[in-house]
A and B are shown apart, each in its own frame.
Chain A
């Protein structure tokens, strides 16, 4: 019997893989992909609860999360391209121009 607990554990594991990717990798494109993984973990939770509660509203919010993820990817990748054109790097350790 697969309960929402299973889905929550899977979601937590996926979320943590995404967080580790954000913290460990230095390539900003991979960091963006890790953020996508985190958003997917959130969506799995929303859909699992939507299925358990027998109500579709969780899936509606998952659709919103997908929309926000698409917007984030478009703007973020635009920023990466603009930055790469100026500095010739995608390493976040070298993105310290505005560091205080």
Chain B
């Protein structure tokens, strides 16, 4: 019962803030609603027992990425910027296709049998207890190569962002 109340409250916050992000006129307000949305998603992770990911969400998303967005919003002059769709009918077919995709998606979700037996995963034996320990164990054993590739990706992205944003090298 308590879990249901927590879930529905947090879900309402997540969806409400997401709607505010895409519908607010002022871009700065949009970024601030994005922070609240990320924090609500972090609360959802805590509810699911993923404490490490909740901390990552708060640190990286709400702390890092959003600051980046705020910097760009402050650097870019958005005053007097008319936001209008010149031809509102040009995406009708795309919209219909997306609506059909949503129907298929919702049907698949509702047809999903969550009571089925849990499938055995290959490396189910993790010799440590605790959420953070388990994530760390998997990252440094089974998923070491993807972990290193992700670090390379971040390095390349950092250099690329510096090259792009610098006026002259």
Contact = CB atoms under 8 A, between A and B. Distances in A.
Contacts of A32: 69
A70 B65 contact: yes
B102 A81 contact: no
B110 A73 contact: no
Contact of B161 (A12, A13, A19, A75): A75
A30 interface: yes
Contacts of B162: 78
Contacts of A84: 75-76
Given A68-B150, A78-B161, A91 B72 contact: no
Interface residues of A, number: 72
B61 A36 contact: yes
Interface size range of chain B in the complex: 35 or more
Interface of B: 3-4, 7, 11, 14-15, 18-19, 21-22, 27, 30-31, 34, 37-38, 41, 44-45, 48-50, 52-53, 56-57, 60-61, 64-65, 68-69, 71-73, 75-78, 81-86, 91, 94-95, 98, 102, 105-106, 109-110, 112, 114, 118-119, 121, 124, 126, 131, 134-135, 138-139, 142-143, 146, 150, 153-154, 156-158, 160-165, 167
Contacts of B85: 24, 26
Nearest to B88: A24
Given A17-B18, A91-B83, A2 B76 contact: no
A44 B41 contact: yes
Interface string A86-100: 001111010000000
Interface centre among B22, B109, B118 (most CB of A within 10 A): B22
Interface string A33-59: 110110010011001101111111101
A66 B7 contact: no
B65 A60 contact: no
Contacts of B161: 74-75, 77-78
A81 B78 contact: no
